[in-house]
Homo-oligomer: A and B are copies of this chain.
Amino acid sequence: MKLTVTQENLSRALSTVSRIANSRGSLPILSNVLLKTVDNQLIVEATNLDVAMSETIGAKIKTEGSITVPARLMQDYVASLPASTLTLEVKDSKLQLTTDHHSSTINGTPADDFPVMPVIEKGDVLEIPGSEFKQTLQQVLFAASSDEARPVLTGLFLHSIDGNLLAVATDSYRLAEKNVMKTDKDISLLIPASSLQDVLRVMKDDNAPVSIQYDDQQARFSVGSVELVTRLIEGNYPDYRRLLPKNSDTTAVLKLSDLQEITKVSSLFAREAAGGVTVSIDEEKQDVSIRSIASQVGENTAVAEAKVSGEAVITMNSRYILDALSAFSGESVSVNVNGKLDPCLLTDPDNDDYLHVVMPVKS
């Protein structure tokens, strides 16, 4: 292999894929990054066996070839070079990298030992506008569980109902559901949330569409020059829709920023109570108040004006409320409560694309 490539392009590709290589290595070669010439381009690739990520960049290829080199060293090294043209050449499993004032030799491993990126041969293809997909991931992913004991809850469930494509995630304490777009396909994909965090990380603000090719076992995301292949999670997603409250006895509509502020302040006094704060919705006063008590340090009550119908008192984890509110971007938020042990539904009164459910805690 012999080629020239710009420092900017190589550095960008290395920083995109190297995180995959660094994060979870069991086999030594998984801490390496693969450099491989294909069709007068250079592919930079890393994998941790669950996920494989590659970026294809322009390069002037003199001799075709491939090698794998330590990802972290290679990334740090190329990033620290000045903007210039780099010459890469493989000799005896060593990568020689030269530029005007620098010449280095990095010991590598032949590419034959590197796990091959899985190919999806038949699979269907789904295309989603970039901004919609990015917003979906930002609004839903954080609600997924990180507890491997229930693998299905560590995924984002992308499925179609009545011509709508829905994305949902839940850790059983809270649930987020986004209506992504209309679709005429019949879709049911359970995608690891961690893989989607990697997809989110490489998404730019250019609104380029995201293409998802999938079969029963894996999915390939294409975002610009980056490709990511992930396994899918096996198992049936819980029938969460029958748990969503259909209507509510009590509803309070208030400014999103007000509810964020009073929840945040109250959460400071809720550390002792594992984050639990008591939300009171008062129809007579037309306000929402949040009370938190820590016997050691003190107590706090914070109030915000609201448009209220009905009365309710419910205790919830303040962190879950704050997480949920960060997913809303409208002016107002609607808090919908039934009994004090029933799920609390948060919605945007001006936009019904997104809903969030927080389970109460016993107080």
Q: Which A residues are within 8 Å of any B CB, using their own CB? A: 70, 73, 76-77, 80-82, 94-95, 101-107, 261-262, 264-265, 268-269, 296-304
Residue among B82, B105, B299 making CB contact with A104, cutoff 8 Å? B299
Question: Do residues A262 and B105 form an inter-chain contact, with CB atoms below 8 A?
Answer: no
Question: Do residues A265 and B81 form an inter-chain contact, with CB atoms below 8 A?
Answer: yes
Q: Which residues of the other chain, B, contact A94 by a CB distance below 8 angstroms? A: 298
Identify the 5 closest CB pairs spanning chains A and B, nearest first. A104-B300, A106-B298, A102-B302, A105-B298, A80-B265
User: Copy number of this protein in the oligomer?
Assistant: 2
Q: Which residues of the other chain, B, contact A77 by a CB distance below 8 angstroms? A: 265, 268-269, 300
User: A94–B107 Cα gap in the complex (Å)?
Assistant: 65
Question: Do residues B102 and A300 form an inter-chain contact, with CB atoms below 8 A?
Answer: yes
Q: Which residues of the other chain, B, contact A261 by a CB distance below 8 angstroms? A: 80, 82
Q: How far is the CB of A237 from chain B (nearest CB, A)?
A: 37
Question: Do residues A101 and B298 form an inter-chain contact, with CB atoms below 8 A?
Answer: no
* 7 pairs, A vs B, C-beta closer than 8 Å: A70-B297, A77-B269, A94-B298, A101-B302, A101-B304, A103-B300, A107-B298
Q: Which residues of the other chain, B, contact A301 by a CB distance below 8 angstroms? A: 102-104
Q: Which residues of the other chain, B, contact A82 by a CB distance below 8 angstroms? A: 261
Q: How far is the CB of A107 from chain B (nearest CB, A)?
A: 5
Question: Do residues B298 and A262 form an inter-chain contact, with CB atoms below 8 A?
Answer: no
Q: Which residues of the other chain, B, contact A265 by a CB distance below 8 angstroms? A: 77, 80-81, 102, 104
Q: Which residues of the other chain, B, contact A302 by a CB distance below 8 angstroms? A: 101-103
CB closest chain-B residue, reference A263: B80
Q: Which residues of the other chain, B, contact A70 by a CB distance below 8 angstroms? A: 297
Q: Which residues of the other chain, B, contact A95 by a CB distance below 8 angstroms? A: 298
Question: Do residues B105 and A73 form an inter-chain contact, with CB atoms below 8 A?
Answer: no
User: A76–B82 Cα gap in the complex (Å)?
Assistant: 42
Question: Do residues A303 and B101 form an inter-chain contact, with CB atoms below 8 A?
Answer: yes
User: A129–B180 Cα gap in the complex (Å)?
Assistant: 60
Question: Do residues A73 and B268 form an inter-chain contact, with CB atoms below 8 A?
Answer: yes
Residue among B106, B264, B297 making CB contact with A107, cutoff 8 Å? B297
User: A80–B265 Cα gap in the complex (Å)?
Assistant: 6
User: A329–B178 Cα gap in the complex (Å)?
Assistant: 52
Question: Do residues A297 and B102 form an inter-chain contact, with CB atoms below 8 A?
Answer: no
User: A70–B269 Cα gap in the complex (Å)?
Assistant: 12
User: A105–B304 Cα gap in the complex (Å)?
Assistant: 19
CB closest chain-B residue, reference A300: B104
Q: Which residues of the other chain, B, contact A304 by a CB distance below 8 angstroms? A: 101
**Given contacts A77-B268, A80-B265, A265-B77, are A296 and B107 in contact (CB under 8 A)?**
yes
Q: How far is the CB of A200 from chain B (nearest CB, A)?
A: 28
User: A177–B163 Cα gap in the complex (Å)?
Assistant: 73
Residue picked from A81, A265, A303, most chain B C-beta under 10 Å = A265
Q: Which residues of the other chain, B, contact A262 by a CB distance below 8 angstroms? A: 101-102
Question: Do residues B300 and A269 form an inter-chain contact, with CB atoms below 8 A?
Answer: no
Q: How far is the CB of A169 from chain B (nearest CB, A)?
A: 28
CB closest chain-B residue, reference A287: B101
